[in-house]
Structure formats: C-alpha cells, structure tokens
Amino acid sequence: MGLDIWMRENPLTYVWLGSYAVALLVFVIEVAMVVHKRKITLRQICLMRNTGDEEIA
Amino acid sequence: MAINWFKYSAPSTFYGLAGKLIPWFALSAAIMFAVGLYIGFVVAPMDAQQGEFYRIVFIHVASSILSMFLYLIMAGYAALGLIFNTRLSSMMATAIAPTGALFAFISLWTGALWGKPMWGAWWVWDARLTSELILLFLYLGFIALHASIDDPRRADRASALLAIVGSVNVPIIYFSVKWWNTLHQGSTIKFSGTSMHVAMQQAMFVTLVACWLYAIAVVLARVRSIILERERHTKWIAELPEVK
C-alpha cells in the first residue's frame, strides 16, 4: 500500500530507479561478466602455453 | 573492390574484425542511449492518460523487440551451424543467448513496473506476458542445455534444435495481442500511422538503435572469448599478441 502511494507521488523516481537504473545495472553486470570471461580465458591459454599442455593443430 | 565476405566466416579472421568493431558499436550505443534518454525525459511531453509512467515505454519496447529479434538471429545462426556445420555460426548463437535472455528479463521487469500503476498488478497471466516469459525460459533452456554437454560440437547441435523449435514462440508473442483478448495493449506504431507524439517516437527509435548497438558490441565481445576458448589449440591463437 505504501509503495502504491509513493509511486504515484514520485512517478519519475519510480520510472528511473525501477526501470532505467535496473536496466543500466543489468548492462553493467553483463559487460563486467564479458570482460571477466575474456580475462580468465586469456589467462587459461597463457597457463596452457607455459605448462606445455598445448597441442597446436 | 569486391569484398570476400566468406573470409569473415572463419573464426581466425572474424576474431580480428570483431575486435576492431567493438569500440565503435560501444561508443555509438553510449551516445545513442544518452540522446534517447534526453529526448525521452526532457523533450517528450507527459502522456495525457498515463502521466509520467509511460516513460518506461522507451526501454520496455526496445528490450522487447531486441529479445524477440535476438532469438530469431540466434536460431538462424544455430540453424546455419546445424546445416552447414560452420563453427562460427554456432559460436555466434552461443554468444547471443545471454544477451537475449537479459533483454527478455528487462522487458518483463519493466513491463511489471509499468503494469503496477496502470493495471494495478505486477503480473497477470496475459497471453503477451506469458509468451514473453516462455521466451526467457527458452533462452535459459538454450544456455543450460549448451552448458550441460561437455563436447562443444554436440552441445551446439542439441541446443540448435531447441533454438529452432523455440522460434515458433516469437510470432506467438508478436500476434498474441491480436489472437487473444489481452490486457496488454496492441501495437501503437503501425504501418498505417501512429497517434504518438513525434518526440516520443524519436526517443523510442533512438533507444531502440542504442539497444541494438549495445547488443552487437557485447555479443562480439563474448564471441571473441568463445573463439579463444574453442580454438585454443590452433596455431593462429598461439600467435596472437594478447596470448604471447
């Protein structure tokens, strides 16, 4: 009930925080995950090279 | 000068091309988001019936369109990989799935936030909402199925079948508001015209373009990691400057 009243009194804050801030957060998390994935993949390949596990095709 | 497009279907050449394209798409996406938000929140007027709440439309419509189109593109790539056994197609399908799932999530989330003040409920088992939820589950199913099979080539084939079969859901989402009596409104923009204010249309279009550019940038970045992972035993990977 309290949220109903608050959203009607602060519609722009509700729209901003609820949808745009959440969407932005989702995008930031996705980008961070992609960057992290690249870092660990590169690290794995470098480790493989250093330990001589690599079988080059 | 003729460009040999087939050259870029090889992971080794596509890897470099994707790396060059990512900054341009990412920068364009950031600029377009800023412009879209400015038009949507500063220039576009308040809606006569929905007040300020309608401004959710700019991210809601863009993410909904992206979630559907990305699924079709993912299914297309998966089908190409299945039929022609092309490595890059399957890698692209795998790279698109998480971004598509996130757009489906944003679509459902922003829809719930819009539904509460307009309909009085966060969620209703309406045809449009339910079919969009099924789309999210299809994305998650694709990701889970792919991750559950150790051999990437077998995983590609199994998840490709799921993606192709699941693509039947996309026209169901689109036409759900016509085929059934739904609480969700029909299309506001049609080929015959629209009653939307021009600034609202501009904000929606610019945000849609921004979402496309973002999706392309992030998918290209993800596919580069997938290429690195799957092609790690090849000579060209060993010769990459970032690996040396």
DSSP structure class, residue B243:
T
Residues in chain A within 8 Å Cβ distance of B242: 42
> Which residues fall within 8 angstroms of residue B177, CB to CB, at 6 or more apart?
B127, B128, B184, B185, B186, B187
Domain membership flag for residue A12: no
> What's residue B195's pLDDT?
76
> What's residue A14's pLDDT?
93
Total residues belonging to chain A: 57
Domain membership flag for residue A40: yes
CB-nearest partner of A56 from B116, B225, B234? B234
CB contact under 8 A, B53 and A14: yes
Torsion, Cα B76 B81 B87 B92, to 10 degrees, reads 20
Q: Chain A: nearest CA to B1, how far in angstroms?
A: 33
Residue type, B113: L
Q: pLDDT-based confidence at A56, cuts 50/70/90?
A: low
CB-nearest partner of A45 from B53, B98, B243? B243
Domain positions in chain B are 35-44+57-238
Instruction: Look at chain A and report how many structural domains it folds into.
Output: 1
> What's residue B239's pLDDT?
85
CB-nearest partner of A57 from B102, B117, B235? B235
> What's residue B243's pLDDT?
80
Q: Chain A: nearest CA to B53, how far in angstroms?
A: 6
Residue type, B209: V
Predicted ipTM of the assembly: 0.90
Give the pLDDT confidence of B231-244 residue by residue, as tens digits.
988 888 888 888 87
> What's residue B24's pLDDT?
97
Domain membership flag for residue A1: no
Host domain of residue A30 = 25-57
Give the pLDDT confidence of A19-55 residue by residue, as tens digits.
999 999 999 999 999 999 999 999 998 888 888 765 5
> What's residue A1's pLDDT?
65
Residues in chain B within 8 Å Cβ distance of A14: 53, 113, 117
Residue type, B39: I
Domain membership flag for residue A13: no
Domain membership flag for residue A36: yes
> Which residues fall within 8 angstroms of residue A53, CB to CB, at 6 or more apart?
none
CB contact under 8 A, B218 and A48: no
Does residue B186 surpass a pLDDT of 80? no
